[in-house]
Structure 1
Amino acid sequence: MSEDRNNLYPIFLKTKELEVLIVGGGYVAEEKLTFLLKSSPDAKVTMVSPLFKKGTLEVAAKAKVTLVEERYSATYLQGKHIVIATTDQPETNMEVYKDCRERNILVNVADNPPYCDFYMGGIVTKGHVKVAISTNGKSPTTAKRLRQFFEEVIPEDINHLVENLNNYRKTIKGNFEKKVQTLNKLTESLVK
């Protein structure tokens, strides 16, 4: 495998069905929470921090976010599936990382790619269409610019096309391969 390519595997998580923990309550925590809720407003999120900045509290109040005003301890990992460490204390972030690794919990230590099982890339959402962009943790600015580009080129009414194709797909007779061939032929003009 080449070192010059992105080998990450993109997935779309049903965060409504998962338990997410954000450790920290400052600017980075607010940024990660905002990003998560923008894409998944029904995400189940708990935040633990001895202090929460005003902006973080305002974002949390708009969603179903549980706030715990305590210092981090491994007990807060109970039942969690995904953890994001955002504190300004490297030793706390490393403790979170080690505790998660011991429990096989996916973890992201903000702004520290070697200690991330996943990255939170750029995301474009237009109705049912969602595009995720990753630069392999190397350039969030590039991901941001690509996100802005896709937000402009994907039409606002893309949902209409998606719904029509979904309804048409249900009427196609034959096996899976035949259905794929029919839909590919029908949609090939989208990429030309």
Structure 2
Amino acid sequence: MNELYPIFLKVHQLETLLVGAGFVGLEKLTFLLKSSPQARVTVVSIEISDEIRDIAANNDNIQLVQAAYHPSYLENKHMVIAATDDKAVNKTIYHDAKSRYLLVNVADTPEYCDFYLGGIVTKGNVKIAISTNGKSPTTAKRLRQLLEETIPEDINEMVENINRYRDTLKGDFEYKVEALNKLTEGLIKKD
């Protein structure tokens, strides 16, 4: 059973700690920034890849700390991504984060994750998140590719038009929901 509850976080308003700056750290950072280019991330690692240094050089919201992990780096953070190549360090990060009630993701270790970085499709204001409950990231990737090809590029124009229409509606919440449902029912009707 998949008990995940999907939410969309405004990570540009949160403080994220990423521990690890190798290949996996780069993957996590790139994914986060693809979806939220203004995400505020502190990257802590003994060694920092040139690719991550390049990203940080072009993004004022990325702070680099070249050091070993220490629990003090969790202070004033909202969520944590552990992406080191040392499973013991990742496990320590997980337990330290949980003791502070922080959301944590340990790369490639679903049992140590409060959240997953799933596949994301973005077309303007439309954003769709895909998860396989941590079981198959490659399946999420393929579904993302399928949806990117299927969803029309002009969907954002439709969303903007519906938003303008919504602003003109008078009445209570129930009335507005009914009017918008009627307007958008054609999206799923089959011939």
TM-score tier, shorter chain, comes to over 0.9
Q: 4+ residue runs of structure 1 moved beyond 6 angstroms? A: none
Structure 2 match to 1:117: 114
Structure 2 match to 1:40: 36
Q: Which runs of 5+ in 2 are unaligned?
A: none
The aligned runs of 1:7-156 (5 Å cut-off) are: 7-63=3-59, 64-156=61-153
Residue identity (%): 62
Deviations 1:31-87 (A, max 9, x none): 000000000000000000010112222233332210000000000000000000000
1:173 and 2:170 aligned: yes
One-letter code aligned to 1:161: M
CA contact (8 A) 1:30 1:59 kept: no
- 1:107 is displaced (CA, Å) by 0.5
Cα RMSD between the aligned structures? 0.8
What TM-score results when the alignment is normalised by the length of structure 2? 0.96
- 1:154 is displaced (CA, Å) by 1.1
Of 6, 17, 41 in structure 1, the residue corresponding to residue 2 of structure 2 is 6
SS in 2 for 1:88: coil
- 1:171 is displaced (CA, Å) by 1.1
Question: Number of residue pairs matched?
Answer: 188
CA contact (8 A) 1:33 1:59 kept: no
